Chain A
Amino acid sequence: MTRVAVVRFPGSNCDADTYRACERVGAEPRYVWHREESLGNIDVVMLPGGFAYGDHLRAGAIARFSPIMRAVVEHARSGGPTLGICNGFQILCEAGLLPGALVRNACLTFISRPLSMRIEATNTPFTNAYSAGDTFDIPVAHGEGRFVAEDAEVARLEAEGLVVARYAHDNPNGSVNGIAGICSDSRSIVGLMPHPERAADELLSETRGSLMFESIVRHAGVV
């Protein structure tokens, strides 16, 4: 059974959808409050979307210092599968677990709509259930989703196949090279701006986001 810690910060608001997406694929999610010092016995950590600490100062800037983050960093640095969705991605970058940063959308508006995303790297615990090139509609909802990094870092991410997902048609926020998600060198830490947990239910007409959660169950079966 794949046990998933869904970390909640004050201001997280996609925790319930993330929890449910885990349940639907037969994983065993549990909530972990940001003030706890231990994640408990878990296999996977997910940092959900939302506005932790109201995005004050910078999105994720304060959340990265929450007490639970010591355990999250230890889990991630030891190779434990760690997924940051939207605000979670921002927190992973601020914590230095992923390179680059997410800044204000180039268009300056908050974007909330479905768009087309292509999965590229499938050798991560969160994308192994996809085939490279799989493209599907997935919602984004962010004001600070523009991925930036030094030119040399971007070149390295591209060359080493660390770009996990890319905006397939229009680049909504001006992210460099249309990057929607990346992973660490170890491949076990993934950050994604779009919301797979909102593309995981027939009721919402798009279920291919659920493969991101299915992947962790398959990963557990293989490891």
Chain B
Amino acid sequence: MPRFKVEVTVMPRETLLDPQGQAVEHALAELEFENLSTVRIGRAITFDLERPSRAEAASDAESMCRKLLANPVTEDFSVTVEAKS
């Protein structure tokens, strides 16, 4: 069965205050990186999936996000799926 590498990114929803992002933004500014704004911090989760097709791999990955990997009240998620050679 084909193997796929899945990368999930979970980010705080836009409307949610992200104090961690703010702290990092201040730290980067102190390091004199200019014209920087809207730092947001989330998490990346990667895994391999053996599925008959890329579409099924993506669909299952999205179900995993909805069920466990992301909290829909506070987080958005995105999924990328690549075939593994």
Contacts and interface: CB of A to CB of B under 8 A. Distances in A.
Contact of B20 (A94, A101, A108): A108
B73 A61 contact: no
A163 to B, nearest CB: 17
Interface string A133-172: 0000000000000001110000000000000000000000
Contacts, number: 33
Interface in B1-49: 12, 16-17, 19-20, 23
Contacts of B74: 101, 103, 148
B73 A149 contact: yes
A101 B71 contact: yes
A106 B68 CA distance: 24
Contact of A108 (B23, B69, B71): B23
B13 to A, nearest CB: 9
Contact of B68 (A61, A103, A148): A61
Contacts of A101: 71, 73-74
Interface in B60-85: 68-69, 71, 73-74
A94 B71 CA distance: 8
Given A103-B16, A104-B19, A104-B20, A58 B71 contact: yes
| Chain A binding surface SS class | loop
| Chain B binding surface SS class | mixed
Give the residue among A57, A93, A107, A108 with the most B Cβ atoms within 10 A: A57
Contacts of B19: 104-108, 174
Nearest to B67: A65
Contacts of A114: none
A54 interface: no
A20 to B, nearest CB: 32
A92 to B, nearest CB: 13
B69 A57 contact: yes
Nearest to A103: B74
Give the residue among B12, B16, B73 with the most A Cβ atoms within 10 A: B73
A148 B69 contact: no
B26 to A, nearest CB: 11
30 contacts: A57-B68, A57-B69, A61-B68, A61-B71, A62-B68, A65-B68, A93-B73, A94-B71, A100-B73, A101-B71, A101-B73, A101-B74, A103-B12, A103-B16, A103-B74, A104-B19, A104-B20, A105-B19, A106-B17, A106-B19, A107-B19, A108-B19, A108-B20, A108-B23, A148-B16, A148-B73, A149-B73, A150-B73, A174-B17, A174-B19
Closest 10 CB pairs of A and B: A101-B73, A101-B74, A106-B19, A108-B19, A101-B71, A103-B74, A58-B71, A108-B23, A148-B74, A100-B73
